A and B are shown apart, each in its own frame.
Chain A
Amino acid sequence: MSEQLVQAIADMREEEALDLVRAMVKEGVEPLAILDAVKQAMAIVGERYEKGVYFLPELMLSGEMLNQITDILKPELAKLPEVKREGKVLMGTVEGDIHDIGKNIVTFMLDVNGFDVLDLGVDVSSQKYVEAIRDFQPQVVGLSGFLTLAFDTMKETIEAIQAAGLRDQVKIMVGGGQMDDQVRAYTGADAYGRDAMAAVKLAKDWIGG
């Protein structure tokens, strides 16, 4: 049944996937075994996305399936210890910009790829980034922005991280609508990523995993 579940999720058969999870819970399958199947399925989704077979509809739907499955398993999962994560990534849309679609997709893809992601939301001040780096201790920081104004606030954010003496302990990636490598150089970030898989790849290269 576990193999069927992997296929159902990976092939976007939502109802079948949820029915299978409910049946597995009823039969007493370990929640961790179910989650393992979900993880395998998400890896296939990620591969297909990377290869240009899957796009936003599949990312959104697999995210929905994941949420619903987690809801079904919640009572069981609450009893288990926290799973080990690959590394920590801090995400946010920089100050002055309230666009979040791209950032949310990146956050989701990092999450399903095993990273512990803290998403600060939109219109995040450089001060908030600095505080979150201190508290959360990420290895990677992602700055998202859609507007041209974000060129400057990204630069200011990175300068603030530098001024706080935290620049050397994080790798910084930028992305969003009008971003490119010229903007990356201007902001002082370590890398620019065009889409969510680029962000995952950067995080993996920097953190490992």
Chain B
Amino acid sequence: MTEKTWAQMSADEKQEAAFQKLLSPKDPQGNDLPFQSPEAEANYKARITRIKDAIQMKKLPDRVPVVILPSMFPYLSAGMTVEEAMYDYDACTAAFKEFLLEYQTDMHIGASAPGPGKFYELVGYKLYSWPGHGVAPEHSYQCNEGEYMLAEEYDLLMADPSFYFRNFYLPRVFDAFEGFKMLSPWTSTLEMYGLAFNYVPFALPPVQKTFQALFDAGAEALKWAMVMGGSDGELATLGYPNILGGFTKAPFDVIGDTLRGTKGIMLDIYRQPDKLLAAMDALTPTMIAMGVGAARQTGNPLIFMPLHKGADGFLSDEQFKKFFWPTFKQVMMGLIDAGCIPFPALEGHWDSRLEIVQDVPKGKTIWMVDQSDIARAKATLGQNACLMGNVSSSMLNLGTPQDVEDYVKNLIDTIGQGGGYIVCNGAFFDEAKPENVKAMVDAAKEYGAYE
């Protein structure tokens, strides 16, 4: 029997193939990854298998997996400022390694949360304020949400999202991308006659200035990515897998967070609902391709989807069903068909949405749960999907190790029953008491074994 090609494989087979690939990791040259010890290799494979079993919900893992998804915690707890973590890439990865070796979790998502500060400077990023650029050195970067796409620009966005982003959106949020405004669409390049007119803008100083900035910023991004890649590689040889493949977003959040802003999208629900719906349809294939492309590039199947504007209190259930859910689900299904594992994060409270979002194929997704009612999440969404999280930032910050241990033990005894649960913090966090974070991990390891 000949092996099936990728296109012939079912979604199940593709997901399984992705895990099998993770279980035989390679170095950048394509040789078997040289683990630092047989124990590291055994740990690496045991960790991936534990996560795989929790996600697939076919058989019980050996124990409830435990993961920490921090924001700036590893760097702050190493005594660095966020600014240092953003500008000193080596110090950033060293702190992350120290963090991972201290807590020894079953998977990690790498040291890339701080990101390259110098890169953001070179492109003049305005969407966020970061240390030294609008926030204090010890504080995390924060978003400056605004109406970066105007109410009358939906047709322009839908006609060609890439052209809209390059020529309209990007120059509004990056100082250095002014020159993009002058470029003609790439799709204007069709035949010989008239062709050269399209390339005249590249002779103009503003365009050349933009491209020069891109060369410099790209070099900085590469420098940073090499350090991050090196760190992930080293951590893998020590037995710690990073299986995060990339990220994408629900189309409602693309428009609500990135383009129109909260106020803009909420008004559009009343003022131009058809345009909003059509624009989300237009963005859906783009968001699927973004996740699938990232998974192919990194070789990792988990595609993170931070969810924001569908939480309790933002929309009515009817509005959620009409505006948020359909294209969010389509993006997840597109990812699943390509063998990826959608990894949505229910930030804040999502109690009223749990019965709606439970309509996903079993064993194909993993959901980070923040402050939603976890028992209700287990009874609904949790019947079809692996849940992780629910240890709150307030408890990690202000509770005692005993509080955390008791809470996690209870989570394991209830939500962990029958598999499909991973112990984890509920929201990405900066500050926490290290002894509380330790208590979360220790409790999972102590009480999490399945018979």
A positions within 8 Å CB-CB of B: 12, 14, 52-57, 59-61, 64, 96-99, 101, 123, 147-149, 151-152, 177-180, 182-183, 186, 195
Contact = CB atoms under 8 A, between A and B. Distances in A.
Contacts of B271: 14, 61
Nearest to B393: A178
Contacts of A123: 135
Given A178-B392, A180-B392, A195 B313 contact: yes
Name which of B134, B316, B394, B398 has the most chain A CB atoms within 10 A of its CB: B394
Contact of A56 (B136, B262, B429): B262
Interface residues of B, number: 37
Given A151-B397, A182-B394, A183-B398, A57 B136 contact: no
Interface stretch (B17-25, B137-145, B382-390): B137-145
Contact of B431 (A54, A99, A152): A152
Q: Classify the secondary structure of A's interface with B.
A: loop
Given A60-B266, A60-B267, A147-B142, A183 B315 contact: no
B316 A55 contact: yes
**Residue of B267, B319, B395, B427 with most partner-chain A CB within 10 A:** B267
Contacts of B398: 151, 182-183, 186
Contacts of B347: 177
A53 B316 contact: yes
B319 to A, nearest CB: 7
Interface of B: 129, 134-136, 139-140, 142-145, 262-263, 266-267, 269-271, 313-316, 319, 347-348, 371, 392-395, 397-399, 427, 429-432
B430 A147 contact: yes
A40 B266 CA distance: 23
A148 B397 contact: yes
A200 to B, nearest CB: 14
Contact of A148 (B136, B270, B429): B429
A147 B347 CA distance: 13
A148 B319 contact: no
Contacts of A96: 135-136, 139
Contacts of A59: 266
Given A14-B271, A101-B145, 13 more contacts: A57-B266, A57-B267, A97-B142, A98-B129, A98-B134, A148-B430, A151-B397, A151-B431, A177-B347, A178-B427, A180-B392, A183-B398, A186-B398
